[in-house]
Chains A and B, each alone.
Chain A
Amino acid sequence: MKRINLLLATSAAVSLAAGSAFAADMANEMTIVSWGGAYSASQLNAYHNPYSEKTGVKIINDESSPEAVAKLRAMKEANNLTWDLVDVEAADAIRLCDEGLAMEIDADTQLADAPDGTKAKDDFGDLMVSDCFIPQIVFSTTFGYRKDMVPAGTEPPTGACDVFDLQKYPGKRALNKQPVANMEWALLCDGVAYEDVYDTLETDEGVARAFAKLDTIKDQTIWWTASAQPVQLLADGEIFMGSAYNGRLFAMIEEQKQPVGMAWDWQMFDIDGWVVPAGLPEDRLARVMDYLYFATDTQRLADQAKYISYGPARKSSAPLVGKHATLGIEMAPHMPTDPNNAKHTFVNNYTWWADYRDDLDAKFQAWLAN
């Protein structure tokens, strides 16, 4: 009999201890969904840690942004919302807003004004592409190349169109496994004028033309699905050049000292920011809005640029961008918006993509498969 009692006692004790440890944290914590890696680290340093210190709210990081749309749909279906705040790209934010999965926010009344009194909406300006979306950073998808693999006697690549030039730059390349950016680059480098790219993509011939251009490098291309992959491939020397987020390339070149160069031309600008899931209970919503007010003010956005080379979304933050927190180098020349890097830029038309994304995703997957 002793043994049973012992067994029962231990199992009860274990589950009680575990359960109470868990329940204690539940009340004052917040789950924030983001992209992981260096990007999450920059948010941790610039927003989460200062906020937790100030308020005592514990912030749990969920690195599920790549599946944010699908997961929010499942949560709605199951009527079980476990996320408090989600970091998504602009196009996803528009989709989530259209589906009623994200909450509309009035920036002027619910977010902080700029230090000079400018209202939040004016401070964010054109970047507020949806009523549900609070912009955070401007980032770009651009190209990195191995400096030591440039063929002798050849100029190093300068931009997106060099990825299609197998004669001049032989070797494997890496591209994001999605139509966004790749389709635009394919048309642009095939001779379509910048202004006409999206109009061309609306036609079947335009889509076929983009795929035909991509066909020329298909067998030399490794498709990446996670933003850390192209960086790893470059570090390994598995590829000659590849598209990657400029912040990842910055971390690789400046922090890890890899022999990699940037090819900025026709970098694809995009915006990333917050959405609040629709249907949060009152107490959680209040906590999220308090966090948002704090984390999207002018100083906080400028602080994030100390840790990663993404441009702050508020106009008023730009003059406050200084040196990197640990490396001590000026961050301005590494921003995608720096005049030297932004000679030719491509502004991602997220509203267009919000309408055409599902259709082109299907076509792109079909093209990949055969």
Chain B
Amino acid sequence: MAVLTTVPRRPASFYVPVVAAFGAFVGLFVGTAQGSGPLGILGGAILMGALAFLLTHAPLAEKQLRWIVAVVFAIAGFALAGLSAGIIGAALGWFFGWLTFWLFEGRYRAHLVPYLTPGQVLWHYTFRVICGAIFIFLITPILVVLPLSFNAQDFFTFTPEMLALDPAGYSLKHYRDFFTNSDWQNALRNSLMIAPVATLLSVGFGTLAAIGLSQPHVPFRRAIMAILISPMIVPLIISAAGMYFFYSRAGLQGTYIGVVLAHAALGIPFVIITVTATLVGFDNSLTRAAANMGADPVTTFFRVQMPLILPGVISGALFAFITSFDEVVVVLFVGSAGQKTLPWQMFIGLREQISPTILAVATILVAISIALLTVLELLRRRSERLRGMSPS
């Protein structure tokens, strides 16, 4: 982007305290790890403040200075707690070098329009930091699981070997356990047998219900809609207990079909909602035109309506699939041990045997989810391109 504003260098009374504040924040973590949080805050603030002042008054070029800081921090981290701390140190050194000059040279204003007040500039960056923080908050629990699943020990613990990036601390044995243990394989098979069928049922019923409810002449549309999406609103444990007693009487408790039906009931609301949303933009004169040309309603549905509402159907199906695939409460009630699904196996695993195999499974599931979403996004882009909706 073009440089919109040239700003003079900032006074030390501005950037030194700001860098010191960041130093205090990082110092809190380093200090806590080394035994004393408050001392870490103090040390971090003083060290980083002094560093900022020194950097901006040193007789060397900026590039050299930043390299030196990164290397010094890396060595300090390595001396303090080994290889991984060294890497963190290098990253921190790079960050503080960059931050100091970014503030000192006034680069933070370079890409902004010149008439912004200092308050607006501050908000501009605060907003970004908040967004980043939310992102980190959402993603960290998932990221923490990934390395733990390669743990060579049987506990949810970052061992000293792991932290030192020693290959002996890592192992694929929990993945091996997942692929060879019959309990996990049964659970995987059950999940793969239940989820697709439940999804098919949800999509079938949900799509039909959504189309029916979008017809203006259906009486009590809102009331019917509310009832149909109630499984999403009623607390799951209530549905589950109700299903348990009802299915027991009907002879469905502890059967494959019972679990499929229960999961289909949970998935239907998602399909109804997504399909209803796409039907809002659907032009009913298209179906009338098709009828006018002699197509019967079924042909009209598959040739005209279905292709147009397909994105809603697919995303509804995806939600229904994930609901069934992730569901643990209802299956605990409605299923018996013969229908033990992956989430069930993970649940009892967490309770009875805190085994990192659960983390290995979680990692595999995360990978599958990412792959699924990527494929979906690629398909969506392709269909947009084919339909000429996007200039690319």
Taking beta carbons and an 8 Å cutoff, which residues of A are in contact with B?
Answer: 1, 3-4, 11, 14-15, 18-19, 21-22, 25-26, 29, 31, 33, 35-38, 40, 60-64, 66, 74, 77-80, 82, 225-229, 231-232, 235-236, 256
Contacts of B123 in A (CB 8 A): none
B353 near A235: Cβ-Cβ < 8 Å: no
Check if A37 sits within 8 Å of B353, measured CB to CB: yes
Contact B336 A231 (CB under 8 A): no
Residues of B contacting A: mostly = helix
Q: Are A231 and B256 in contact (CB under 8 A)?
A: no
Which residues 328-346 in B have Cβ within 8 Å of A in the complex?
336-338, 340
Contact A235 to B153, CB < 8 A, known contacts A14-B196, A31-B338 = yes
In the complex where A35-B352, A235-B155, A256-B154 touch, is A19 in contact with B337 (Cβ < 8 A)? no
Q: List 25 A-B contacts (CB under 8 A).
A: A3-B302, A11-B200, A14-B197, A15-B260, A18-B256, A22-B256, A31-B337, A31-B338, A36-B353, A37-B352, A38-B353, A40-B352, A60-B337, A61-B337, A63-B352, A74-B244, A78-B249, A78-B253, A80-B254, A226-B350, A229-B354, A231-B354, A232-B156, A236-B157, A256-B155
A1 & B256 in contact (Cβ 8 Å cutoff): no
Q: Which of B254, B256, B336, B348 contacts A36 (CB 8 A)?
A: B348
1/0 per residue, CB under 8 A from A, across B104-147: the answer is 00000000000000000000000000000000000000000000
Taking CB atoms, residues of chain A closer than 8 Å to B197 are 11, 14-15, 18
- Shortest beta-carbon distance, B339 to chain A, in Å? 9
- Assess the B352–A227 pair: CB atoms within 8 A: yes
Q: Known contacts A31-B336, A235-B155, A235-B157; is A82 also within 8 Å of B254 by CB?
A: yes
B248 touches A14 (CB 8 A): no
Query: Measured between alpha carbons, how far is A79 from B250 in the docked complex, in Å?
Result: 11
Contact string against A for B residues 297-340, beta-carbon threshold 8 Å, 1 for contact and 0 otherwise: 01100100000000000000000000000000000000011101
| Complex alpha-carbon distance, A358 and B350, angstroms | 27
Q: A80 near B253 (CB under 8 angstroms)?
A: yes
Closest residue to A75 on the B side, CB-wise? B248
A26 to chain B, nearest CB (A): 8
| Residues on the A chain within 8 Å of B256, using CB | 18-19, 22
B57 within 8 A of A: no
Q: Does B222 contact A (CB under 8 A)?
A: no
Per the bound structure, the CA–CA distance linking A80 and B243 in Å amounts to: 13
Quick check: is B193 within 8 A (CB to CB) of the other chain? yes
Q: Is the CB of A228 within 8 A of B352?
A: yes
Which of chain A's residues have a CB closer than 8 A to the CB of B338?
A: 22, 25-26, 29, 31, 60
CB interface residues, B 158-172, toward A, < 8 Å: none
Nearest A residue (CB) for B194: A18
Interface residues of B (CB under 8 A from A): 153-157, 183, 193, 196-197, 200, 204, 244-245, 248-249, 253-257, 260, 298-299, 302, 336-338, 340, 348-354
Question: In the assembled complex, which residues on chain A have CB atoms less than 8 Å from the CB atom of B354?
Answer: 228-229, 231-232
Q: How far is the CA of A225 from the CA of B350 in the complex (A)?
A: 11
Cα of A36 to Cα of B253 in the assembled complex, Å:
23
Are A226 and B351 closer than 8 Å at their CB atoms? yes
Query: Could you tell me if A226 and B183 are in contact, using CB atoms closer than 8 angstroms?
Result: no
For A11, list chain B residues within 8 Å (CB).
Answer: 197, 200, 204
Which residues in A have their C-beta under 8 angstroms from that of B349?
Answer: 36
- In whole Å, how far is B191's beta carbon from the nearest beta carbon of chain A? 12
CB distance from A37 to the nearest CB of B (A): 4
Question: Please, how many angstroms separate the alpha-carbon atoms of A61 and B337 in the complex?
Answer: 7
- Complex Cα–Cα for A36 and B193 (A): 24
Q: Return A250 CB to nearest CB of chain B, in Å.
A: 14
Q: What's the least CB distance linking A102 to chain B, in Å?
A: 19
Q: Across the interface, do B193 and A78 meet the contact criterion of CB distance under 8 Å? A: no
Q: Which of B153, B196, B351 is A228 in contact with, Cβ under 8 Å?
A: B351
How far is it, in angstroms, between the C-alpha of A74 and the C-alpha of B254 when the chains are bound? 13
Q: Is the CB of A232 within 8 A of B352?
A: no
A279 to chain B, nearest CB (A): 14
Contacts of B153 in A (CB 8 A): 235, 256
